[in-house]
């Protein structure tokens, strides 16, 4: 009986060893698979964050482009009115420089926080220039135009800084 017992004992030890090796192998495989899944999720999250950042950057660039287009349009209207010697009261509201400056201000309010204050100042300066255009006080008109130009220059600088930052 002792021989059978020894054979059974050896077989039992071998079976336990095989089972232990199988369990360890399965645990290591499961751990490796879990690590691989985690790494894949991290790669996908990083890719998603990059995509989101790029889309946000593209939206911001589009807003800045729209904003600056309105600013340039208002400047062109202001200069054209001045060159033509046309008075603001004779100009339809949709053609006034302040109308376009207001559109620029709206874009800044909704999507470009860094230029909101300047956009508001530019809008107000544009409207003041229109109001004073009928005035005969050249000095007052000159001050208003200087303020308008200063806001334009400040906006230009702010937009350059904003775009260089990205």
Per-residue pLDDT of 19-69, as tens digits, reads: 888 898 999 888 988 899 899 999 999 999 999 999 999 999 999 999 999
Per-residue pLDDT of 101-122, as tens digits, reads: 999 999 999 999 999 999 999 9
Report the mean per-residue pLDDT for the chain.
88
pLDDT on residue 118: 97
Q: Would you give the end-to-end CA distance of the chain in angstroms?
A: 85
Distances (CA, A) of 142 to 72, 97, 147: 20, 17, 9
CA-closest candidate to residue 97, choices 75, 69, 68: 75
Distances (CA, A) of 2 to 5, 6, 7, 12, 13: 5, 6, 8, 15, 16
Contact assessment for residue 107 and residue 70, using Cβ atoms and an 8 Å cutoff = yes
Per-residue pLDDT of 35-48, as tens digits, reads: 998 999 999 999 99
What structural domains does the chain harbor? 2-165 (1.20.120)
In the chain, DSSP finds a helix count (H) and a strand count (E) of: 4, 0
Higher pLDDT, 79 or 100: 100
Per-residue pLDDT of 146-161, as tens digits, reads: 999 999 999 999 999 9
Higher pLDDT, 55 or 91: 55
| Percentage of the residues of the chain whose pLDDT score is greater than 70 | 93
Contact assessment for residue 67 and residue 115, using Cβ atoms and an 8 Å cutoff = yes
């Amino acid at each position: 009986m002792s021989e059978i017992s020894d054979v059974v004992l050896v077989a039992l030890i071998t079976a336990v060893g095989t089972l232990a090796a199988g369990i360890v192998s399965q645990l290591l495989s499961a751990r490796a698979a879990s690590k691989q899944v985690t790494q894949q999720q991290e790669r996908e999250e990083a890719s998603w964050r990059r995509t989101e950042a790029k889309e946000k950057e593209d939206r911001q660039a589009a807003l800045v482009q729209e904003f600056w287009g309105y600013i340039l349009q208002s400047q062109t209207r202001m200069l054209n009115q001045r060159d033509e010697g046309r008075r603001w009261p004779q100009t339809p509201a949709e053609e006034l420089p302040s109308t376009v400056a207001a559109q620029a201000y709206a874009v800044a309010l909704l999507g470009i926080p860094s230029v909101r204050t300047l956009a508001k100042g530019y809008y107000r300066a544009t409207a003041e220039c229109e109001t004073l255009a009928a005035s005969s006080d050249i000095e007052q008109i000159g001050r208003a135009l200087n303020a308008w130009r200063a806001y334009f220059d400040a906006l230009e600088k702010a937009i350059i800084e904003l775009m260089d930052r990205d």
